[in-house]
Amino acid sequence: TPRVFSGVQPTGSLHLGNYLGAIRRFVAMQDEFPCIYCVVDLHAITVWQDPKELIEATYHVTAAYLAAGIDPVKHIVFNQSRVSAHAELAWVFNCVARMGWLNRMTQFKEKAGKDRENASAGLFVYPTLMAADILAYQATHVPVGEDQKQHLELTRDIAQKFNHDYGDRLAELGYEEGLFPMTEPIIQGPATRVMSLRDGAKKMSKSDPSDASRINLTDDADSIAQKVRKAKTDPEALPSEPKGLEGRPEADNLVGIYAALAGQTKEEVLAEHGGAMFSAFKPALADVAVSVLAPINDEMRRLLDDRGHLDQVLTSGAERAAEITAPVMQAMRRVVGFVG
Ligand code: AQP
């Protein structure tokens, strides 16, 4: 049966990249599939999180999900640490995945930086926890930004190796198809990789020390306009076709953001704005950003004033999530040979 799973880390201020690359796509999938959207707090602590800030960020992501239009009654919204299947299955997957596979993960290399000896062991095995998140629900589709593509490939490798290593046992117990599905990443649209406003070679990121590099979901209209005005660009006018954006990463990024926000293709944006200088295009971009983000921002504020409601959403979500994982975990235990 088809099922969608995805998550966002409660690690700071959500930005336009998280919204366009992930959350907006989560909303779009609700009509077609049963969806499970997680606030991945276990992932967050792979790098140090102040406990009080982690709590705040967990509510913040929950509010952003709801404000963006995720329905927590028809679908499931919860925080990862409340459902023990994630950590339990991650352990088994730590024993399925190979060191060599994890050594190739570019996100670990980026996040660990030069001081690899001092990175947490959790940061290294981050992708096995992500595989567990997805496969504990036997999820078939995972909407994510481009940066998560490699982790999704690893998830498939882990599912395949598990199904293969335990093949005889699975057949004996009647799971001829294997226990875990080959999950499809859903990486689509004009903004699967939103870049920093200060550097067209870096992705927009929560952990960038420069707040001017990103548009936060909670920025007001003035700061959005100011950040867009100050965004790095080149001195040329906009081309009239997308191929004119080649070799112009900052221009390409702003056109891509505009397209995603306005629900247009880059061709359509350039058909309208081709020939314009950035001094004219930037205010138009700020306007469309404000028109999309202001209602989300207002709704987030309203939701964050009612923690009781958010708690109730997360509690109900965790209960329903745990019910889905229970038979999968029971099957996993029998397959592996855990008594009990
Ligand atoms: N710049 C981006 N463009 C498109 N999609 C993006 N995503 C993140 N950045 C961009 C997508 O957002 C989802 C949630 O991301 P996450 O919070 O789990 O982790 P991340 O990818 O590590 O996000 P950040 O913002 O870059 O955080 P830090 O700075 O802490 O590393 C994912 O689907 C991701 O693809």
User: What is the CA(191)–ligand 1 centre distance, in A?
Assistant: 12
Annotation marks residue 203 as catalytic:
yes
| Residue type at 44 in one-letter notation | A
Query: Dihedral sign, CA of 20, 21, 24, 29?
Result: positive
Q: Which residues of 9-41 are buried (b: 16+ CB within 10 A; e: fewer)?
A: bbbbbbbbbbbbbbbbbbbebbeebbbbbbbbb
Instruction: Output the CA–CA distances (angstroms, integers) from residue 246 to 23, 251, 255, in the order listed.
Output: 28, 9, 12
Q: Is 201 in contact with 274 (CB distance < 8 Å)?
A: no
pTM for the model stands at 0.96
How far apart (Å, rounded) are the C-alpha atoms in residues 59 and 205? 19
- Nearest ligand 1 atom to the CA of 14 is 25
Q: Is 258 in contact with 292 (CB distance < 8 Å)?
A: no
Tokens standing for 187?
A: 């990486």
Burial class (CB in 10 A: 0-12, 13-18, 19+), 209: exposed
In order along its 340 residues, the chain shows pLDDT tens digits of 999 999 999 998 899 999 999 999 999 999 999 999 999 999 999 999 999 999 999 999 999 999 999 999 999 999 999 999 999 999 999 999 999 999 999 999 999 999 999 999 999 999 999 999 999 999 999 999 999 999 999 999 999 999 999 999 999 999 999 999 999 999 988 889 999 999 999 999 998 999 999 999 999 999 999 999 999 999 999 999 999 999 999 999 999 999 999 999 999 999 999 999 999 999 999 999 999 999 999 999 999 999 999 999 999 999 999 999 999 999 999 999 999 8
How far apart (Å, rounded) are the C-alpha atoms in residues 130 and 136? 10
| 100 known member of a binding site | no
How far apart (Å, rounded) are the C-alpha atoms in residues 158 and 110? 22
Cα 163 vs. chain centroid, distance in angstroms?
Answer: 26
Nearest residue (by CA) to ligand 1, atom 7, is: 18
Domains along the sequence of the chain with CATH: 4-186+306-336 (3.40.50.620), 211-302 (1.10.240.10)
| 11 known member of a binding site | yes
How far apart (Å, rounded) are the C-alpha atoms in residues 222 and 204? 20
User: What is the CA(331)–ligand 1 centre distance, in A?
Assistant: 32
Annotation marks residue 243 as catalytic:
no
Helices 85-94, 149-165: axis angle to 10 degrees equals: 70
Select from 105, 206, 207, 261 the residue to mutate for testing ligand 1; criterion: most ligand atoms less than 8 Å from CB.
206
How far apart (Å, rounded) are the C-alpha atoms in residues 267 and 256? 10
Annotation marks residue 227 as catalytic:
no
Q: Which of 111, 149, 232, 266 is the catalytic position?
A: 111
- For residue 319, which phi and psi values (nearest 5 degrees)? -65, -45
186, β-bridge pairs: 143
Q: Which of 149, 206, 232, 266 is the catalytic position?
A: 206
- The pLDDT tens digits for 228-282 are 999 999 999 999 999 999 999 999 999 999 999 999 999 999 999 999 999 999 9
- The pLDDT tens digits for 278-315 are 999 999 999 999 999 999 999 999 999 999 999 999 99
User: What is the CA(259)–ligand 1 centre distance, in A?
Assistant: 19
Cα angle 292, 294, 296 (rounded to 5 degrees) comes to: 80
Q: Is 288 in contact with 257 (CB distance < 8 Å)?
A: no
Q: Which residues contact 206 (CB under 8 A, 6 or more apart)?
A: 9, 11, 12, 13, 14, 15, 18, 214
